[in-house]
Amino acid sequence: MREISIVPINAIDAGLLTRLALCLEERFLATAVVRAPLAVPKSALNSTRGQLFFGSLVARLAAAYDTREDLVLGVTDFDLYKTSHQFVFGSSSEAQRCAVVSLQRLRSEYYGDQPDENALFQRLLKESVHEIGHALGLRHCYNARCAMYYSNSVFDTDNKHSHFCESCERRSRANKPV
């Protein structure tokens, strides 16, 4: 992977994404570039659930960006779901080299708390590292502090680190193309 394209889905705070890009560059030793927003209308939401299906969003990202050698990370305010999950903080497609993270359930306000920009950023970073890890071929880790640990709740996300444990770090290096 040479480059990570960070794609805001509609309007996402540019400062948040610029900060994310700097941290992802440091963690993955790849250039991270914030791209122009990808417009996704509210009509794309599942009208019954009020959520966006991950599969349809990743298809839009893969169609809009070349992901053969690089990786695309979409960041959205839409609440996401998958066929197998009522909601997801994010998800990824290893085959399409695309990952998406939703800010919806990472925001403190979602849980009735005061807005906390630092908590939001830390959660976004952890979930972005997690989903990029999946896009690079890593699986879930049993170490609750590892970024690859599966988050059942925002508390799991808050508890884990924004980097891989030693085992997952070794696996990520082994999976990198030469």
- Tell which phi-psi region holds residue 62, choosing left (phi > 0), alpha (psi between -120 and 50) or beta: alpha
Pairing mode of beta strands 80-82, 3-8: unpaired
Give the pair of three-digit tokens for residue 144. 């609750």
Q: Which of 3, 25, 94, 131 is catalytic?
A: 131
Question: 167 Cβ partners below 8 Å, 6+ apart?
Answer: 141, 143, 146
Q: Is 169 a catalytic residue?
A: no
Question: What whole-number distance in Å separates Cα of residue 129 and Cα of residue 135?
Answer: 10
**Residue 106: closest CA among 15, 7, 16:** 16
- Is residue 124 a contact partner of residue 75, using CB atoms and an 8 Å limit? yes
Selection from 118, 93, 99, 110 nearest residue 153 by Cα: 110
Q: Are 132 and 145 in contact (CB under 8 A)?
A: no
Please identify every residue annotated as catalytic.
Answer: 131
